[in-house]
Amino acid sequence: MPVEEALLPKDLAAAEGMVNVQINGVWHRFPKGTRLIEAIGKSGDEVPHYCYHPKLSSPGNCRMCMVEIGMPARLAPGAEPTYDDEGYLPIQWMPRPAISCATMVSENLGVRTKSTLVEEARHGVMEFLLANHPLDCPICDQAGECRLQEFAVGHGRGGSRFVEQKTKKPKNVDIGPRIRLDDERCIMCSRCIRFMDEVAMDPVLGFSERGGYTTLGVHPGRKLDHNYGLNTVDICPVGALTCNDFRFQMRVWFLKETPSIDTNCGTGINTVIWTRNDQVYRITPRENNDVNSCWMPDSHRLNFHYLHGQHRLTSSLVRDGDHHRSAPSHNAAGKVASALKSAPKGTAALVVSSRLTNEEMFLAKRLAEKCGISAIATVPREGEADDYLVAADRNPNTQGFLRIFGDQDRAATLQSLRDDVRSGKIRTLLTLQEDLLAPEAGFTQDDLEKLDFLASLHLLDNGTAAAADVVLAGSGFPENRGSMINVTGRLQRLNRAINPPGEALTNWEWLATLLRETGADVFDGEAAAFKALAASDELWQDLTLARIPDNGIQLYETGIKIPLVERERERIARGEING
Amino acid sequence: MDSIRYIAGKEPHPRERRMIFRNVDREGWDTRFATYVADGGYLELRKALAMKPAEVTAEVRTSGLRGRGGAGFPTGVKWTFIPPDNTKPVYLICNADESEPGTFKDRYILHQDPHQLLEGMAIAAYAVGARKAFIYIREEFPDAARILEEAIDEAVRENILGENILGTEFSLEIIVHRGAGAYICGEETGLIESLEGKRPYPRIKPPYFPAALGLWMCPTIVNNVETLCHVKHVIAMGGSEYAAVGTRNNSGTRILCVSGDVVKPGYYEIEVGRMTLGELIDDVCGGMRPGRALKAVIPGGSSSKVLRGDETFTIRTPDGASSGLALRDIPLDFDTLAACGSMAGSGGVIVIDDSRSISWVLNNINAFYAHESCGQCTPCREGALWMRKITDRVVEGRGTPTDIDTLLSIAGQIEGRTICAFGEACAWPTQSFIHKFRDELTGATSEDNAAKASNPEAVAQRRYLAEAAAAGSAR
Ligand SMILES: Cc1cc2nc3c(=O)[nH]c(=O)nc-3n(C[C@H](O)[C@H](O)[C@H](O)COP(=O)(O)O)c2cc1C
Ligand code: SF4
Ligand code: SF4
Ligand code: SF4
Ligand code: FES
């Protein structure tokens, strides 16, 4: 090969498995096999689209993502290619637009995303999508996060030429226990169908009828009742699928979004918590390709109403004879601290939930040290893994507990604590976010009555609280900030989205107060605790709480794999999805 | 051929050349294996099996045979698109979904001469390396499906199909699959989806070109019934001799299905390019109905663009010169019809006389496409129905002149922007009818209609606005 030819951009790119693509006049380089829509995204431009979803197959049906493309002209036999000054071939633009979601980048490909051809194509698609669309925006839950609205503003013509009778379709259809369908709003992008088929592997959704009468529906005799069904609501670009739990509760533009993680199991699914005025309105999954892709089980996302329910403790309580009366926090904390401190050696114990953050656990450990408590147990919570995202370990931070307390046989430790309470050896007990009467904890009412002093830090007024001498009104997951380690060994951060109600304090605040009452130095906030913790563990030495990436960081590998994520990786490898 | 006698009243026109339809309406003919073999059937299969598969493909390439399903793509070239390094099974599919309005040819082969198709398929399967083939047959042809199944059973019994055909290494299973009852099932990738048991939603191309990623993501060759029958004749005559039938680049014979306002509508097999449209209408079909004049011709099935009866076309001859061609002088081939802005398509010639209202004809076509759009992609799903709703109004006398512009712009927003060629199929009639008959269409509309509400919703809206205005002024 002549020397000059070897220096052409195409050869330089090819040597690295890349190709050169001109986007709006500027040359970029992308790995071979990149989808054009992703390449354009990386170049800093956005392509409006509906049906394309990186985690699903690409049917190319919405036609919103069309761009103008061009390729080098095909040479006549024997003709020599003519390169321009930069070493590229002249681009011959094609008269028809191409969909960018299913087109792959290729060498010397030209792309225009702003030309007349593209604008006209987008106008056309928007006009078609709106032709039979109902004017529901004022009563539609999707308003404010609706792709149809957004692109109508960005790429629509403004007026409507459609004067015919709109096609009527079923509205307010009960397609499952948690989801409602409005067929008139459906733009037939098939995302929900593909999700149920490809990810949930329960293909209950499908289209019936044809053409403009195409109607989304559930398979006869079935319901959309799969535990991952609500993901279809997330990915539906319009208000066709809405969540029964959230619909009509709040306009989305009033809501604050806090990235956080789910605490219902050891996977630590990445989430966004949507709140207003210290109230959680909904929780949605947040993309993390190492943990949960873009998905989340319904059972986890809907499990937050207890935070605002009637069992929520809003102030601390101190036993007064047969009754509990509310008490100022410092008063209640003082009572607990002095009970722990004054307990004779070997008679006090701590139950530390594996639902606590690392920082909370670290403080609990300090508290135990300060009060000379060595009996520390946690409550293992084993369920069945669901072969998607839900881990068998239903505690979100078992790994944190193991690293901080080093207890390898948690069930046995808990058993011996129960025995020691029963035998009267343990007489003082503080439980941190565990209801001891819950089946997995295994204590009985009789056990608790044997104790001289029982304190419960919890957010709910459960059976343990009823039996306790002091009840500390604690916090729930959206009120906490801190870190946890998931079942695979990944360190992730929980962010505070709301404040605890009334006089309830965060778990962190309670533990800090208790420590202070015992006369110990207290860290200045969760971040400082994390720092101290990091200093004691070589795995996280260079980290700070704030520096944990939003998608977490793999500290070590436990060997546990998340099935859904593994399947997704296989699909990416097979080229079925972009990922 | 001289010895062949046809059923009285169904004799071919002298200007026909019957190759594919040799046995259609033939006296004493039936669909039995013995009948076919007695007439020299399956000799070409024996001949092909003695050749190398690549040699068979080469003959088909040499013959210049072009697909009779609609697009007219060279068959031999299509067969070479199977990736050379392929390790997956290869499938052959016979597209017997015949549903393009105006097209009625494949059904006669299926009903009257199944073994000709099976022979063509066996040769094609041998050439492309398929061991399993499917006949995807239009749902509305239940008898033909039964006839084919019987023919296949007989052929298997006679070792013409099945394992080690005629003692060779070659084995072939042919499966008859009843279609799902929709026009889009005839689009090859929709057909493949349907064969896989799904809704016939056409696939995007790229990447799903059937020759590489077809049935179950394996290389798949889809050919029309008539095309596959021609393969037998290519082998019989040899590629070069076949290429001499018809005209250059437009070889062989093809069956034209003439419907509409002629005296003798029907099917006629002619040498491609050796007959003009005028000869077809006036000689072969007995002319227009008495007292009627030719108004328009849709030359290749409902999807092809309409031509005006009084039009003259300027086309470039192969030597570079331009020449004017009146509609009746157009030779019926692939290339000239394309040069005239339409296409030979599926061979369905629809003749329209001056008794027909153009808005009615267009509305009839629009109704078909609105009904048959699979609904997968936005422009066709929404546009096809919208166009129908507009022409509905025009036909009812409720159209406005701007409706015609809107129609044209809707068609423009569909063409070239859809997943499959149905988009063009439904846009071209509207585009060409407006292009050719704009005055008549506009004449069917009225400015006055603009002020009238066009549907119950609009009526309600107008009433509401009027009441609101009245209430406002009363206050
Ligand atoms: C909307 C649509 C409908 C079609 N219907 C048929 C059909 O009914 N029969 C057919 O042979 N080809 C039909 N085709 C063409 C097929 O897609 C395909 O091109 C053809 O079967 C290939 O065969 P050939 O190469 O032998 O022509 C249709 C195409 C489109 C776009
Ligand atoms: S889906 Fe979007 S455009 Fe449609 S009614 Fe709801 S908010 Fe409006
Ligand atoms: S319901 Fe939503 S996600 Fe499903 S096809 Fe319709 S618009 Fe797409
Ligand atoms: S063009 Fe029409 S028929 Fe073809 S895929 Fe799109 S909607 Fe279906
Ligand atoms: S995103 Fe729908 S066609 Fe590309």
Query: Running along chain B, 475 residues long, what does each successive block of 10 average in pLDDT?
Result: 85 97 97 97 98 98 97 97 97 97 98 98 98 98 98 98 97 98 97 97 96 98 98 98 96 98 98 97 97 97 97 84 91 96 96 97 98 98 98 96 97 97 98 98 94 79 84 70
- Same domain? For A250 and A353 the reply is no
Rounded-to-integer distance, Cα A92 and Cα A87, Å:
16
For the record, the structure tokens of A43 come out as 């170049």
- Same domain? For A403 and A537 the reply is yes
Read off the pLDDT of residues A155-210 as tens digits, 9 standing for 90 and up: 988 788 999 999 999 999 999 999 999 999 999 999 999 999 999 999 999 999 99
Query: Do the Cβ atoms of B375 and A167 come within 8 Å?
Result: no
Cβ neighbours of A166 in B, within 8 Å = 457
> Please, which residues bridge with residue B94 across strands?
B135, B223
User: Please, which residues 112-141 of chain A have a Cβ atom closer than 8 Å to chain B?
Assistant: 120-121, 123-125, 127-129, 131-132
For the record, the structure tokens of A411 come out as 């069930």
Would A130 be classed as within a structural domain? no
Residue B226, ligand 1, Cβ within 6 A: no
Rounded-to-integer distance, Cα A51 and Cα A54, Å:
10
Residue B109 CB burial class (10 angstroms; 0-12, 13-18, ≥19):
buried
Amino acid identity for residue A143 in this structure: A
Higher pLDDT, A374 or B462: A374
- Same domain? For A270 and A386 the reply is no
- Same domain? For A302 and A315 the reply is no
For the record, the structure tokens of A284 come out as 């949605």
Read off the pLDDT of residues A260-301 as tens digits, 9 standing for 90 and up: 999 999 999 999 999 999 999 999 999 999 999 999 999 999
For the record, the structure tokens of A354 come out as 């594996």
Nearest CA to ligand 3 atom 6: A186
Residue A393 belongs to domain spanning: 308-563
Query: Do the Cβ atoms of A212 and B182 come within 8 Å?
Result: no
Query: Do the Cβ atoms of B384 and A211 come within 8 Å?
Result: yes
pLDDT of residue B213: 96
Which of A24, A21, A26 is closest to A10 using CA atoms?
A21
Would A265 be classed as within a structural domain? yes
* CATH no., domain B358-451: 1.20.1440.230
Rounded-to-integer distance, Cα A238 and Cα A182, Å:
10
For the record, the structure tokens of B352 come out as 């329209």
Cβ neighbours of B386 in A, within 8 Å = 128, 131, 162, 164, 212
Nearest CA to ligand 3 atom 2: A236
Q: How much of chain A is in helix, strand and coil states, percent to nearest 5? A: 30, 20, 50
Supply φ then ψ for residue B272, to 5 degrees.
Answer: -60, 130
What distance in angstroms lies between residue A214's CA and the mean position of ligand 4's atoms? 12
Would A97 be classed as within a structural domain? yes
Would A481 be classed as within a structural domain? yes
Q: Specify the DSSP element, H or E, that contains B27.
A: none
Q: What is the domain partition of chain B in residue ranges?
A: 33-244, 253-353, 358-451
Rounded-to-integer distance, Cα B223 and Cα B161, Å:
19
What CATH number is given to the structural domain containing A294? 3.30.70.20
Rounded-to-integer distance, Cα A366 and Cα A349, Å:
13
For A213-220, what is the mean pLDDT? 97
- Same domain? For A351 and A302 the reply is no
B206 upstream amide cis, omega within 30 of 0:
yes
Query: Do the Cβ atoms of B413 and A97 come within 8 Å?
Result: no
pLDDT of residue A4: 53
CATH topology of domain B253-353: Ubiquitin-like (UB roll) (3.10.20)
Rounded-to-integer distance, Cα A463 and Cα A392, Å:
26
Instruction: Report the number of distinct structural domains present in chain A.
Output: 3
Residue of chain A whose alpha carbon sits nearest to that of B403: A161
Rounded-to-integer distance, Cα B128 and Cα B449, Å:
59
What CATH number is given to the structural domain containing A84? 3.10.20.740
Q: How much of chain B is in helix, strand and coil states, percent to nearest 5? A: 45, 15, 40
For the record, the structure tokens of A53 come out as 């979803």
What CATH number is given to the structural domain containing A423? 3.40.50.740
Interface membership of A254 toward B (CB under 8 Å): no
What distance in angstroms lies between residue A61's CA and the mean position of ligand 4's atoms? 9
Query: Do the Cβ atoms of B373 and A211 come within 8 Å?
Result: yes
pLDDT of residue B1: 47
- In sequence order, the 6+-apart residues with CB closer than 8 A to the CB of B422 are B183, B184, B187, B202, B369, B372, B373, B374, B380
Interface membership of A187 toward B (CB under 8 Å): yes
A259-271 burial, b at 16+ Cβ within 10 Å, e below that, comes to bbbbbbbbbbbbb
- Same domain? For A278 and A319 the reply is no
Rounded-to-integer distance, Cα B92 and Cα B128, Å:
8
Rounded-to-integer distance, Cα A12 and Cα A6, Å:
8
pLDDT of residue A6: 57
> Please, which residues bridge with residue A348 across strands?
A428
Residue A187, ligand 2, Cβ within 6 A: no
Interface residues of chain B, partner chain A, Cβ below 8 Å: 182, 184, 199, 201, 204, 206-207, 370-379, 381-386, 389-390, 393, 406, 412-413, 416-419, 454-458
Residue A252, ligand 2, Cβ within 6 A: no
- Same domain? For A324 and A409 the reply is yes
CB A392 within 8 A of CB A384: yes
Rounded-to-integer distance, Cα B38 and Cα B34, Å:
6
Give this complex's ipTM.
0.94
> Please, which residues bridge with residue A483 across strands?
A493
Rounded-to-integer distance, Cα A151 and Cα A270, Å:
28
The atom number, within ligand 4, closest to the CA of B375 reads 7
For the record, the structure tokens of A344 come out as 């004779």
Q: Which one of A252, A278, A306 terminates a domain? A: A306
Residue A186, ligand 3, Cβ within 6 A: yes
- Same domain? For A428 and A530 the reply is yes
The atom number, within ligand 4, closest to the CA of B418 reads 1
Residue A64, ligand 5, Cβ within 6 A: yes
- Same domain? For A282 and A356 the reply is no
- Same domain? For A296 and A382 the reply is no
Superfamily the domain B33-244 falls into: NADH-ubiquinone oxidoreductase 51kDa subunit (3.40.50.11540)
Would A38 be classed as within a structural domain? yes
Rounded-to-integer distance, Cα B54 and Cα B128, Å:
8
Amino acid identity for residue B99 in this structure: S
For the record, the structure tokens of A446 come out as 């009789």
- Same domain? For A272 and A374 the reply is no
Residues with CB under 6 A from ligand 4: B 184, 202, 373-377, 380-381, 418-420, 422-423
For the record, the structure tokens of A498 come out as 């709301």
Supply φ then ψ for residue A366, to 5 degrees.
Answer: -60, -45
- Same domain? For A298 and A346 the reply is no
> Please, which residues bridge with residue B74 across strands?
B66
Cβ neighbours of B377 in A, within 8 Å = 60-63
Query: Tokens 């007489």 map to which residue?
Result: A427
For the record, the structure tokens of B238 come out as 């040899």
HEC assignment per residue over A433-502: CCCCCCCCCCCCHHHHHHCCEEEEEECECCHHHHHCCEEEECCCHHHCCEEEECCCCEEEEECCCCCCCC
User: Please, which residues 311-350 of chain A have a Cβ atom closer than 8 Å to chain B?
Assistant: none
**What is the best residue among A151, A191, A205, A231 to mutate for testing ligand 3's pocket, by most ligand atoms within 8 Å of CB?**
A191
Residue A173, ligand 3, Cβ within 6 A: no
Residue A107 CB neighbours (<10 A): 18
CB A180 within 8 A of CB A242: yes
The atom number, within ligand 1, closest to the CA of B191 reads 17
User: Please, which residues 27-66 of chain A have a Cβ atom closer than 8 Å to chain B?
Assistant: 58-64, 66
Q: Specify the DSSP element, H or E, that contains B388.
A: helix B378-395
pLDDT of residue A3: 46
Regarding beta strands A241-243 and A279-285, do their DSSP bridges make them parallel or antiparallel, or are they unpaired? unpaired
pLDDT of residue A386: 97
Instruction: Assign A429 to helix, strand or coil.
Output: strand
pLDDT of residue A374: 95
Rounded-to-integer distance, Cα A438 and Cα A354, Å:
15
H helix runs in B396-455, sequence order: 401-414, 422-443
Query: Do the Cβ atoms of A166 and B417 come within 8 Å?
Result: no
- In sequence order, the 6+-apart residues with CB closer than 8 A to the CB of B467 are none
- What distances in angstroms separate CA B140 from CA B227, B347, B372, one per listed residue? 21, 20, 15
pLDDT band at A241 (very low <50, low <70, confident <90, very high): very high
H helix runs in B129-178, sequence order: 142-157
Rounded-to-integer distance, Cα A246 and Cα A282, Å:
7
